[in-house]
Structure 1
Amino acid sequence: MPTINVAILGYGTVGKGVYQTINTHQEKFLTSLGANVRVVAVLVKNINRHSFNDENVLFTSDMDEILRLEHLDVVIEAIVGQEPSFTYLKKSISRGCHIITANKEMFAYHCSDLFELAEQKGVSIGFEATVAGGIPIIQTLNKLFNINSISRIEAILNGTSNFILSQMRDADLSFNDALKLAQEKGYAELDPTNDIEGYDAFYKAMILSQVCFGAQPEWNSVKRDGISHITTEVVKNYTNKRLRTKHIATISNTSSGIKVSIEPVTVGEHHPFYNIEGVQNAVAIEGDVVGTITLSGPGAGMYATASAIVEDLVHVLLSKKANAINTIKRNDQLSV
């Protein structure tokens, strides 16, 4: 039975979720790929901070040790920050590995470079997990591109901000109390700046812009406004008018170029995001043929993100298989 060998970079919440999902879904992989999927290596920054008991897996803090493995097919990256993630993924591509990443900051900065290198090396990149957790937005967009022209996307891309705004309205909490609750539940980091000031949603919006329109706007032209200035009084006022505040990223392709904004928006009952609550994410896509499609689902968490990663794993491997079959067919046609 053929085996796909996988390395996981990072063993935090997401890395552990991926490791567990791969180990518990072997029958699904076998049905989809006709092969087993095996985690052969896990990279961590500090081995002493982790407990790992699978002696069949290389557990290391040395990326070069992983790259020296004789058989390695896919590298999954779930590290925070631009470096060393970008360097690790470049080395993985150069090694001939497919890569899958959940790192939205790194990918927003470096996606063009990684795409170019991957094309040169004939490998694939999966990045579904960089944008909206368990929502398959990247695959949906890629399928829509066959016919539709997409002019605009609206999205709730940060579950932490959405949770805070929901709690301020439903539980009558102050911003600070709602933030504290989000931290207690594990939805917000000890330093929540990336979430509440819109940086997380900004990186995700840049990736969506790249996917939809093949480019990103100048970053300093993007309006980025967080939610930390929103008060309970403002929320109550809107609630009394049957309105709700949502933190929305808007990406549009206009005659004057690509426009992106990330800011609190007041929506009414007929808006597709009115009932998107808690840590849910949502994306509304406007296509010239299909009209508006809205997808919603869990935007973060161990298994929401792991779901996006393992689905990408299947997708990149099936794409490789399809490309190989098409190459064989073309060669057969040429030889006739």
Structure 2
Amino acid sequence: MADIHVALLGFGTVGKGVYETIKAHQSRLRAILGKNVKVAGILVRNIEKHTLPEDDILLTSNFEDILNLPKLDVVIEAIVGREPGFSYLKKSIERGCHIITANKEMFAYHGNELLELASQKNVACGFEATVAGGIPAIQTLRTLLNVNKIERIEGIVNGTSNYILTKMREDGVAFQEALQAAQEKGYAEEDPTNDIEGYDAFYKAMVLSQIAFGEQPEWQTVRRKGISSVSNSEIGLFSEWGLRVKHVISLEKGVRGLSCSVKPVLVGPSHPLYSVEGVQNAVSIDADIVGNITLQGPGAGKFPTASAIVEDLIQLNVNHGCYYEQEKNVRFKKDLHHDWVVLTNQTHVFLPDSIEVAGRVKEALFVNAKEKDIERLLEVYPGLNIYQLYGQMNKEFFKNILLSETRPERKVASPKGI
């Protein structure tokens, strides 16, 4: 019985998780694949920092040593940044190896090129681990929703930001204190910019867009906003109204083309992302037949990410071929109106006729408008804090808000206006 020979590029948290998972589940892998899975080589930056329990595994800091392994079937990449991961995977494909990556930034930039090259060389490309860790979002979109037409995708795909927003609400602390707690727990890096400013979520949104809609939006058209400007006073105010701030990616293909946003939004109790707390991730998919499907689970970490990589290993060996589809069934939607909460204590904010005011509660205007009209409003009043509201503004909604405003025990300070 021949073995499947695997090389790991990177032996940090994810790489070690993959290695340990393969070792611990060898009998299960053999039962599914009919072969043993053998780690033949591991690429590291500094050999002196690593030791391996198996002497027959090549440990090297030179990628050419990996390429020159006599037997090599699959290359698994878990390196941070666009390079050298992209170049390594190109060379791996050219040698005739299947590839699997967990590198969302690299894949957002170079995924198309890798996928096209893999198709030309008749090898497979797995990238489930680039989005939401152990949640099988890509598998669901690629293989389980072929007849359904995808209408919309929303997701919480960065556990660091979700943890910070959850802690701010639950403990009533400011952003910096919540960020420090995330760093102490290892959820946030020393430089947390990619997480808190939405770059990590943006890259994941681009990967999901390619799978769901067969294309990515023009990157410069994507509204990307992080969570560093969200105040604890705002979170406290929204909590009294039964709303939660979540950092959400949103993808939708409408008559104006493919739209994408990465931003803090307000989520009501009826929305599937409302209960996604802490470091959990979730991807919510709306399709025309099945309706809504929400996948929730750990979005990062040693074994959740390793799980996605090993499941890719199964798929590309059982269903040989390029792990990708260029076109999906997509339902084009009209340029719809959405509900928004505009925070301001200014008396005179001129609203055009295209923005309908649904109600006002002290420092908040509740409006219904198209996103393009909100963008124009922000051009005129750049200091406004505006949150899209995921949930319906009906009579019961306003009744609950008005009840919360009359409670004498309210202690949270109102947010500052413009």
- TM value normalised by structure 2: 0.76
- Letter aligned with residue 257 of structure 2: G
Which residue is equivalent to 1:173? 173
Q: Could you say which residue in structure 2 is the equivalent of 1:327? A: none
1:58 aligns with 2:58: yes
| Aligned residue type for 2:117 | L
TM-superposed deviation, 1:254: 1.0
What residue is the counterpart of 1:155 in the other structure?
155
Name the SS of the counterpart of 1:38 in structure 2. Answer: strand
CA distance in 2, matches of 1:77, 1:157: 20
Q: Which amino acid aligns with 1:184?
A: E
Q: Quick check: which one's helix share is greater?
A: 1
What is the CA-CA distance between 1:268 and the residue it aligns to?
Answer: 0.8
Matches within 5 A, 1:52-131: 52-131=52-131
Radius of gyration: which is bigger? 2
Structure with the bigger RCO (C-alpha within 8 Å, sep 6+) is 1
Q: Match of 2:37?
A: 37
Q: Structure 1, unaligned stretches of length 5 or more?
A: 324-336
Aligned to 1:284: 284
Residue 40 of structure 1: CA displacement? 0.7
Change (3 A) 1:83 1:243: same
Farther-moved stretch of structure 1 (279-288 vs 50-59): 50-59
Structure 1 distance, partners of 2:246, 2:124, is 35
* Alignment partners' CA distance in 2, 1:253 and 1:224: 17
- Give, in whole Å, the separation in 2 of the partners of 1:91 and 1:237: 54
In 1, distance between residues paired with 2:141 and 2:322?
A: 20
Residue 286 of structure 1: SS of its match in structure 2? strand
Residue 186 of structure 2 is matched in structure 1 by 186
Q: Structure 1's 262 and 304: CA in aligned 2 closer, same or farther, altered over 3 A?
A: same
Aligned position for 1:331: none
Q: Residue 198 and residue 7 in structure 1: after superposition, are their counterparts in 2 closer, same or farther (change >3 A)?
A: same
Q: Percent of counterpart pairs with the same letter? A: 59
Tell me the matched-pair count: 323
TM-superposed deviation, 1:321: 8.8
How many Å separate the matches in 1 of 2:322 and 2:162?
Answer: 39
Given the superposition, is the C-alpha separation of residues 98 and 322 from structure 1 closer, same or farther in structure 2, using an over 3 Å criterion? closer
1:116-173 deviation per Cα after TM superposition (whole angstroms, max 9, x unaligned): 1000100000000001101000110012442011021000010000000011111222
Partner of residue 241, structure 1: 241
* Structure 1 residues 52 and 146: alpha-carbon distance in aligned structure 2, compared to 1, 3 A threshold: same
Whichever residue aligns with residue 44 of structure 1, its letter is V
SS of alignment partner, residue 204 of structure 2: helix
- State the partner residue of 2:337: none
Structure 1 letter corresponding to 2:189: E
Q: Find the residue that maps to 2:208 and give its secondary structure.
A: helix
SS in 2 for 1:165: helix
Q: 3-state SS of the aligned residue for 1:316?
A: helix
Using the size of structure 1 for normalisation, the TM-score is 0.94
Displacement of 1:47 after TM fit? 1.5
Structure 1 SS opposite 2:253:
strand
